[in-house]
Amino acid sequence: MNMRQNKNYEEKGITLVALVITIIIIIILSTITLNMVFGDNGLIKQAQKAKDMTANSIASEQEGMNSVMSEYLNLMEEDSEIPVPEPPDIPGGSEAVEQGAITFTNLKWENGQASVTIGTNTSYTLQYQVVANEGLSNELNWKEVPEGGSISNLNHLDVVYARLVQGTNHGEEASTTIKDGTPPTISNISLTSTENSVTVTVTASDGESGIGNYTYTINGGSQTSNTTGSYTFTGLSASTTYTIGVTVIDKANNPVTENKSIQTKEPPSIPESTSYAGYYADVDGNGSVDGIIYADLAIGGSGQWGLNDTYSIPKQSNLKKYKEEGTYTANGFGTKGVIKPNGESGNERFYVMALSDADTRNYCWYYSAYGKMNDYATTTSVYFGSGEQNTINMRAKWNSSDYGSQNGNSTYADMWGLITVQNGAWNGSNGWYVPSKEEWLAFGDTFNITKSNYSNYDLSSCYWSSSQYDNSYAWTTDFSVGYMGYGYVYYSHFVRLGTTF
């Protein structure tokens, strides 16, 4: 037990010695550390020393900068006392132009473009630039005027700017604007025509900006433009005078206008080898359709209608000339060309029936003539071509009351007293009459009119002819039954007129 205690005493002694040694080492290390931090050569002393050195360096540099700045300011004060030379007084603007320091001369036009010469009476360098459409100059676009001073390829409203230059100095710019104020010249207007067109050809010139376009009008209305100097108006009427207006405009929009008139040509005459039965008739050439052609004497012919009643159309020679112009449409007759006189003399070629009745009423043939027309065989005829003379003869008979009193029926008047029958006027033209029997036959046959289709032609049921049958009857055209008949002269029927031309 004593041995175990001794051993424990020994171990505790060793531990104490170790502790003392450790404490001594720590004290030594702490002393060294404190000396390194707070000693004369310690970190704090060294940091303070570095701070002081930096501050001294900054102060030294600032002193040097102040010295340099002072010297610079002294130099600036000395330089400001040196006089700066004034820039040269270079002529410019309108004053330079007035003095001849800048000149724009020799303006010339050629092939639609202009040229101008820029000059100066000074020793300065001359610069220029060109700006389109009256625009403003640009400092970056100045260039030296070429030798001779000519500036070309200029257009209307180009602005030519010029200025005088010496070194980096320049005067105020001067300018001139290129303008064309002179209209073109028309030297000739040529018009040619056909029956339905007019062609205009213009000869014109412009000594400045050049011709821009041509404008054409017809009778002050329809207008068109092009650049060719020629135009054709189409779809015109034959034998009609038209006034053609021509305006020539140059590229500067300067216009000149002239007018010229021409008449379209007559259409060619229709041939005599072709029948024009079934065509419409403008008997007086006034542009109004008067009736339908049912017989053509250039062809002649014969036929029958109704109950085998026959007719014969004679063939004629030395006929008038006619032309076809336009078309017309009427119920039943359809759409066909319109025939009118072509202004030449000769025998009349066509027989024409009116397109409507004399009026809407029924008329007696000659109410009081019943049983009294003993001279019927010589007064009227049934033959083709006799209708006009029949009408003349019966009109005279009625006017002189040869067959009895006029208008003996208080309800239906006699047809010979109709104003249109009396004066032969219809639709503004003359020479109309009551057709004969055979003339009505030719009409019915030409258009194949029957009792079932006559109303399609705007025809009434029954019409008087101008032909007497005997001393009490006259021939009628009864479309309601489809043939010619005869009726007492005191019967009442419709009246439709015909003519020749």
Pick from 177, 211, 237: which residue ends a domain?
177
Pick from 206, 234, 263: which residue ends a domain?
263
Tell me the C-alpha distance between 485 and 463, whole Å: 10
pLDDT at 5 over 50: no
What confidence tens digit (pLDDT) does each residue in 244-285 have?
999 999 999 999 999 999 999 988 899 999 999 999 999 999
Confidence of residue 140 (pLDDT cuts 50, 70, 90): very high
For residue 99, the domain's CATH number is 2.60.40
**CA quadruple 206, 209, 214, 217: dihedral, nearest 10:** -80
This prediction's pTM: 0.58
Burial of 226 (0-12, 13-18, 19+ CB in 10 A): exposed
Give the pLDDT score at 288. Answer: 95
Give the pLDDT score at 79. Answer: 57
Q: In what order do the strands lie in the sheet with 113-119?
A: 103-110, 113-119, 150-154
Judgement on whether residues 358 and 496 belong to the same structural domain of the protein? yes
Judgement on whether residues 199 and 128 belong to the same structural domain of the protein? no
Judgement on whether residues 375 and 482 belong to the same structural domain of the protein? yes
Q: Does 102 map to a domain?
A: yes
Backbone φ, ψ for residue 213 (5° rounding): -160, 170
Give the pLDDT score at 3. Answer: 45
Give the pLDDT score at 207. Answer: 93
Q: Does 41 map to a domain?
A: no
pLDDT at 19 over 50: yes
Q: Does 197 map to a domain?
A: yes
Share of the chain above pLDDT 70, in %: 89
Pick from 177, 203, 230: which residue ends a domain?
177
What confidence tens digit (pLDDT) does each residue in 370-397 have?
999 999 999 999 999 999 999 999 999 9
Q: Does 167 map to a domain?
A: yes
Judgement on whether residues 359 and 496 belong to the same structural domain of the protein? yes
pLDDT at 84 over 60: no
Give the pLDDT score at 37. Answer: 58
Looking at per-residue pLDDT, the higher value among 203 and 345 belongs to: 203
Say how many domains are in the chain. Answer: 3
Judgement on whether residues 369 and 492 belong to the same structural domain of the protein? yes
Looking at per-residue pLDDT, the higher value among 332 and 20 belongs to: 332
Q: Does 299 map to a domain?
A: no
pLDDT at 405 over 90: yes
pLDDT at 76 over 80: no
Q: Are 262 and 233 in contact (CB under 8 A)?
A: no
Give the pLDDT score at 2. Answer: 46
Q: Does 344 map to a domain?
A: no
Judgement on whether residues 166 and 102 belong to the same structural domain of the protein? yes
The range of the structural domain enclosing residue 430 comes to 354-500
Give the residue-averaged pLDDT of 282-295: 96
For residue 202, the domain's CATH number is 2.60.40.10
Judgement on whether residues 440 and 414 belong to the same structural domain of the protein? yes
Judgement on whether residues 141 and 193 belong to the same structural domain of the protein? no
Mark out the alpha helices in 39-152 (DSSP H runs): 43-79, 93-99
Minimum mean pLDDT among 82-96, 224-238, 374-388, 437-451: which range? 82-96
Strands (E) across 380-482 are located at 462-468, 473-478
Give the pLDDT score at 15. Answer: 72
The mean pLDDT value of the chain amounts to 91
Q: Does 29 map to a domain?
A: no
Judgement on whether residues 449 and 490 belong to the same structural domain of the protein? yes
Looking at per-residue pLDDT, the higher value among 185 and 75 belongs to: 185
What confidence tens digit (pLDDT) does each residue in 344-358 have?
789 999 999 999 999
Give the pLDDT score at 39. Answer: 63
Tell me the C-alpha distance between 197 and 230, whole Å: 13
Looking at per-residue pLDDT, the higher value among 73 and 272 belongs to: 272
Give the pLDDT score at 193. Answer: 96
Give the pLDDT score at 68. Answer: 66
Give the residue-averaged pLDDT of 2-30: 65
Give the residue-averaged pLDDT of 79-87: 62
Give the residue-averaged pLDDT of 426-441: 97
Give the residue-averaged pLDDT of 449-474: 98
Judgement on whether residues 375 and 464 belong to the same structural domain of the protein? yes
Judgement on whether residues 444 and 408 belong to the same structural domain of the protein? yes
Sign of CA dihedral 435, 437, 439, 440: positive
Give the pLDDT score at 55. Answer: 65
Judgement on whether residues 496 and 359 belong to the same structural domain of the protein? yes
Q: Does 79 map to a domain?
A: no
